[in-house]
Amino acid sequence: MKILSGKNVVITGAASGIGRSAALAFAAEGANIILADINAAADVEQEVRAKGVKAAAFQLDVSDPERYQAFAKEAIDWNGGVDVLINNAGFMAGGAVQDCSLEQWHSITNVNVHGPFHGVHFFLPHMLARGSGHIVTTASLFGLAHLPFVGPYCMTKAAVVAFSNSLRSEVAHQGIGVSVLVPGSVATNLVNNGDWHASSGGNMIPEMFEKHGSSSPEQVASALVKGVKKNKRQIIVGRDAQMLSRLIRWLPNTLYNSFGKFAQQTMT
């Protein structure tokens, strides 16, 4: 979608971090923004309006299909349709697979996987009927490189990479673009808000983020806007993501062996 000015963009998880920065970046292109978050996003709504475009904020738990269906209708009616959907809401959980409770598996799957496919389910028919649109889902470097102690998170992010690739092939000839956003570590509330099982390696990720630095949410948002304009399949952001995504393609066994050694050291 080369021109974003005047387009209507839905962003989930828009109250903070990457979602908030994405809202401001699309607004700077002249797009109108529909913000959706489980938390109130009234302050981001004001920031977006200050850019001279229209904005509306909705409270939405993306894991709730009934609420999502009602939201999608409201969003489509709000300003004459939806052109771009950014499936971005998500959270992180960590700990050894063997220590994660069923509740943890279900809750991360409900938000990080069911949320995005609810978005696709309720907005795609509208886009297909119009013969245009773009859907982005925020995955993660962990959707490509599956580190120890973040198994549930890796699973959810790999799942959205998979369905985005399938969807992209299916709808490309119908005028719909599909991208997957793959950031490395980004300085947001994600890690602090995460569900960590610290006793079993789950504190590795917060420590890693702190040690290795990260991209800013503004850098991610800028890459996201460019990626939508170019209809990129994967929008990989950050030096860590660029490097590790290549290594995992070229030297998977070496990398997974080193992850294994690291896990052994951590757990013994």
Ligand X SMILES: NC(=O)c1ccc[n+]([C@@H]2O[C@H](COP(=O)([O-])OP(=O)(O)OC[C@H]3O[C@@H](n4cnc5c(N)ncnc54)[C@H](O)[C@@H]3O)[C@@H](O)[C@H]2O)c1
* Residues marked as catalytic: 153
> Which of 1, 4, 15, 108 forms a contact with ligand X (CB under 6 A)?
15
Stretch that binds ligand X, among 2-10, 24-32, 69-77, 85-93 (CB under 6 A): 85-93
131: left (phi over 0), alpha (psi -120 to 50) or beta: left
> Which of 193, 199, 258, 264 forms a contact with ligand X (CB under 6 A)?
193
By the rule CB under 6 A, 111 interacts with ligand X: yes
What is the 3-state composition of the chain as percent helix, strand, coil, each rounded to the nearest 5?
Answer: 55, 15, 30
Q: Is the dihedral of CA 110, 111, 115, 117 positive or negative?
A: negative
> Which of 32, 164, 179, 188 forms a contact with ligand X (CB under 6 A)?
188
Q: Where are the alpha helices (DSSP H) in the chain?
A: 17-28, 42-49, 65-78, 102-109, 115-130, 151-171, 204-212, 217-230, 239-250, 252-267
Q: Which residue is nearest to ligand X (CB)?
A: 17
Stretch that binds ligand X, among 163-171, 185-193, 228-236, 245-253 (CB under 6 A): 185-193
Measured from the CB atom, the residue of 110 and 165 that comes closer to ligand X is 110
- Number of residues located near ligand X, criterion CB under 6 A: 29
| Tokens standing for residue 27 | 């607004």
Residues 42-61 contacting ligand X, CB under 6 A:
60-61
| Tokens standing for residue 100 | 């994660």
Measured from the CB atom, the residue of 15 and 235 that comes closer to ligand X is 15
5-27 in b/e form (b: 16+ CB < 10 A) is eebbbbbbbbbbbbbbbbbbbbb
Stretch that binds ligand X, among 32-40, 68-76, 162-170, 200-208 (CB under 6 A): 32-40
Binding residues for ligand X (CB under 6 A): 12-13, 15-19, 37-39, 60-63, 88-92, 111, 138, 140, 183, 185-186, 188-190, 193
